[in-house]
Amino acid sequence: MSAVDFTQLAVLFPNETVTHSYVQDIELPAPAGQGSPGTFALITLDNGLDHSKPTTLGPNTLVELGTVLEELRERAQRGEIVGVGVTGKPYYLVAGADLSTVKTLDKREHGLWMAQLGHDVYSTLANLGVPSFAFINGAALGGGLEIALQSTYRTVSTGAGALALPEAFIGLVPGWGGVYILPRLIGPENAVKVMIENPLSNNRTLTGPQAFELGIADAMFEPADFLEQSLAWAAKVITGETTAERANAVAPADPDTATRWAAAVSAGRALVEAKTSNAAPAPAKVLDILEGNRTMTQAESAALECETLAELMQTDEFRATVYAFLDLVQKRSKRPAGAPDRKLARPVTKVGVVGAGLMASQLALLFARQLKVPVVMTDIDQARVDKGVGYVHAEVDKLLGKKRISQDAANRTKALVTGSVSKDVFADADFVIEAVFEELNVKKQVFAELEAIVTPECILATNTSSLSVTAMAEDLKHPERLVGFHFFNPVAVMPLLEIVRAPRTDDAVLATAFELAKALKKTGVLVKDAAAFVVNRILLRLMGEVTAAFDEGTPAEVADDALRPMGLPMTPFTLGAMVGLPVAQHVQESLHAAFGERFTVSANLQKLIDNGVKSLWARGGDGQQEIPQSTLSLMSFGTNPSSSEEVLRRTQDALAEEIGLMLEEGVVAGPEDIDLCMILGAGWPMFLGGITPYLDRVGASERVNGKRFLPPGVASRPAGQPAGV
């Protein structure tokens, strides 16, 4: 089949932003003392748009590239060219398959065509009759990097970033030959690192130097004359003056390689289990193909890759991931729903932090590092103030020690953070946030004191996780200035910021809060003032259900493992221990007070807290996790155990109910914001789409609310389509 035969697929996408394949004939520079090695055809992949619009591979793009390559193959046969190169427009080789197109391939057959089209085109590139070269000038993701892998030789720019095979993260497999070529080129262990470990570690990517180090590229040049040097290198390869050294390449038939191969696959499976609980199909499929293709021909592997891609494209996990990744994390997070016009935002030139405890100190560090404005912390005595400022200075020194910041930046940040026992230091602050004890009267007292000192325009913010922002604003002279600013622990790492609008919070204050979130490199999501806002309400509803099942008599391991099919980052009991049992209990009590019996306060948990037990689980003598007898003896249990299926279903239903209520209450603008919050605030997986696509998928939304959260097709296969494989 030739690329032209795939036009029946291409015509389905008349609006594709086509990345064109422009060909220029180049007389290769002559290596010293020689004539030019001959004419070299250089393909540039370019969509004609600026760097904010990455080049992608859709059906029309691939058909055009395939046609161009076919012509070059014929020219090579006629002896007109001695080599073919592929490079990209500035900053991109090519970003990868056009996901917005791929996610609309709703017929399995069309997905299969797309997979086969890629293979068809890439195999032409690999079999031109003359050597092919990829000059990796910039980002090369997925199918983009596979163009390079399918070429005979590769050079990479030291300035290139975003080199990866992220398919396992997206819900697919590197099925345009990457999964076959990469282990042979860089060794099975490195291939597992690139195809499994990196995608499942927050979708980590490689830099040019890292890719070169792994052996993905044969030569590396600096950006200033990357293409010129790449072409000069290609000339030397073609004349035989230089050869590619591939220290990490392996021969699959070698018995030693076979052993390494099996071990790498096995290590990969353990990693997938640890990272995803095998809740999503794609990572295991990558390893299945890798395991099998050691003894396959490339064509055999290609057929398997195409079948697997066609299958995975029709999974809801893939659709949910594209929704979560493209629609939410990449798009919606940059245009927060309900945020007022940014032009209303006021400048923030000095920040106050009330309190000098751990949370307050983390906030002070974040504000000083990101905003680079003076930050003052206060507390009730000098010792606490010194401890808070000392914490910040010590953290800055740690960053300096790790060479994450320069000495000058460290000096600057330390100098920005000061402390005082008097709130008078807030007189010229533009933004003061409190991080004092979670007690309404304490917070109201703090704000009353602040109002006597700060300017009328100074914004007051609370980092409360469970108290009513509305109630805090009640006695203020300027209630319009109060906003909730809820960070997640650890503050430096978690990307979410719940921005809480109380009924009287004004637009300028809210606009400033959103601009501040952006300056702090956080994603702000607008939430209504409702108990525990979004993330904690959902997490505690979930933990409450599992704890209740445990209290009713379900064995701990059954209860705690029941949610494994969801692939959450940690089990409910582990999460409880990490948050701190007293903190979890405190928030649960607030939620119980606000919403009643949906949030059950566990008496057993209270007994653990009262006895200073920090975690239900402990490591036994054999290293296995267990509940010590001393802990067990503190608790009493019912006689109504559930199966893990029952616990899972009960939790799904509870989540569907709670989210349904939250949307009715208008806590956020839509289910998309719930999902964004769970992804960024709780690290919930993209293959769940956050959470609502999962609840739609398993039928919980229909069971509980009688309707889906999202229409079919948004984060799932469209309606009326047969289920995938």
**Residue written as tokens 């700060």?**
454
Q: Does 18 bind another protein (CB under 8 A)?
A: no
- Using the minimum distance from each CB to another protein, give the nearer residue, 234 or 691: 234
**Length of the chain in residues, anyone?**
725
Position among 12, 29, 574, 683 found at the interface with another protein (CB under 8 A): 29
Helix (H, G, I), strand (E, B) or coil at 20: strand
Position among 224, 383, 603, 725 found at the interface with another protein (CB under 8 A): 224
Could you tell me the smallest distance in angstroms from the CB atom of residue 227 to another protein?
4
- Using the minimum distance from each CB to another protein, give the nearer residue, 133 or 169: 133
Q: Does 570 bind another protein (CB under 8 A)?
A: no
Could you tell me the smallest distance in angstroms from the CB atom of residue 143 to another protein?
20
Closest CA to 183 of 101, 131, 104, 254: 254
**How distant is the alpha carbon of residue 591 from its chain centre?**
29
Could you tell me the smallest distance in angstroms from the CB atom of residue 95 to another protein?
17
Q: Does 300 bind another protein (CB under 8 A)?
A: no
Position among 16, 46, 167, 696 found at the interface with another protein (CB under 8 A): 46
Could you tell me the smallest distance in angstroms from the CB atom of residue 87 to another protein?
6
Q: Does 72 bind another protein (CB under 8 A)?
A: no
Beta pairing class for 459-462 and 219-221: unpaired
- Using the minimum distance from each CB to another protein, give the nearer residue, 30 or 415: 30
- Reading the block at residue 186, the tokens are 């860089």
Sheet of 375-378: strand order equals: 417-420, 375-378, 351-354, 431-434, 459-462, 482-487, 496-501, 523-528
- Using the minimum distance from each CB to another protein, give the nearer residue, 48 or 638: 48
CA 691/CA 142 separation, integer angstroms: 26
- Cα atoms found within 13 Å of the Cα of residue 518, Cβ hemisphere only: 12
Q: Does 22 bind another protein (CB under 8 A)?
A: yes
Q: Does 236 bind another protein (CB under 8 A)?
A: no
Is residue 463 a contact partner of residue 359, using CB atoms and an 8 Å limit? yes
Closest CA to 602 of 552, 647, 648, 568: 552
Helix (H, G, I), strand (E, B) or coil at 352: strand
**How distant is the alpha carbon of residue 555 from its chain centre?**
33
Could you tell me the smallest distance in angstroms from the CB atom of residue 16 to another protein?
18
Scanning 15-23, 356-364, 540-548, 632-640 for contacts with another protein by CB under 8 A, the matching segment is: 15-23
**How distant is the alpha carbon of residue 527 from its chain centre?**
22
Is residue 144 a contact partner of residue 30, using CB atoms and an 8 Å limit? no
Position among 10, 18, 23, 542 found at the interface with another protein (CB under 8 A): 23
Scanning 6-14, 217-225, 242-250, 343-351 for contacts with another protein by CB under 8 A, the matching segment is: 217-225
Could you tell me the smallest distance in angstroms from the CB atom of residue 24 to another protein?
4
Scanning 18-26, 284-292, 408-416, 573-581 for contacts with another protein by CB under 8 A, the matching segment is: 18-26
Could you tell me the smallest distance in angstroms from the CB atom of residue 324 to another protein?
35
Q: Does 43 bind another protein (CB under 8 A)?
A: yes
Q: Does 227 bind another protein (CB under 8 A)?
A: yes
Apex 310 CA angle, 305 and 315, nearest 5: 120
Could you tell me the smallest distance in angstroms from the CB atom of residue 49 to another protein?
10
Scanning 25-33, 123-131, 164-172, 537-545 for contacts with another protein by CB under 8 A, the matching segment is: 25-33
Q: Does 228 bind another protein (CB under 8 A)?
A: yes
Residues 6+ away with beta carbon under 8 Å from 78:
none
Cα dihedral: 460, 465, 470, 476 (round 10): -30
Position among 74, 109, 225, 300 found at the interface with another protein (CB under 8 A): 225
Closest CA to 400 of 390, 412, 388: 412
Q: Does 80 bind another protein (CB under 8 A)?
A: no
- Using the minimum distance from each CB to another protein, give the nearer residue, 6 or 135: 135
Interface size with another protein, residues (CB under 8 A)? 22
Could you tell me the smallest distance in angstroms from the CB atom of residue 244 to another protein?
21
Q: Does 90 bind another protein (CB under 8 A)?
A: yes
Burial of 603 (0-12, 13-18, 19+ CB in 10 A): exposed
Binding mask 175-214 for another protein (x = CB under 8 A): ----------------------------------------
Position among 232, 267, 326, 634 found at the interface with another protein (CB under 8 A): 232
Omega before 90 within 30 of 0, i.e. cis: no
Is residue 230 a contact partner of residue 218, using CB atoms and an 8 Å limit? no
Q: Does 718 bind another protein (CB under 8 A)?
A: no
Which secondary structure element, helix H or strand E, spans residue 619, and what is its range? strand 618-619
Identify residues 485-504 at the interface with another protein (CB under 8 A). none
CA 52/CA 684 separation, integer angstroms: 28
**Residue written as tokens 């070059």?**
72
CA 456/CA 571 separation, integer angstroms: 46
Position among 2, 24, 266, 406 found at the interface with another protein (CB under 8 A): 24
Q: Does 231 bind another protein (CB under 8 A)?
A: yes
Residue 79 CB coordination number (10 Å): 11
Report how far apart, in Å, the C-alpha atoms of 508 and of each of 344, 481, 504, 512, 582 are: 5, 9, 12, 6, 36
Q: Does 34 bind another protein (CB under 8 A)?
A: no
Could you tell me the smallest distance in angstroms from the CB atom of residue 121 to another protein?
17
**Which residues contribute to the site for another protein (CB under 8 A)?**
20, 22-24, 26-27, 29, 42-44, 46, 48, 87, 89-90, 222, 224-225, 227-228, 231-232
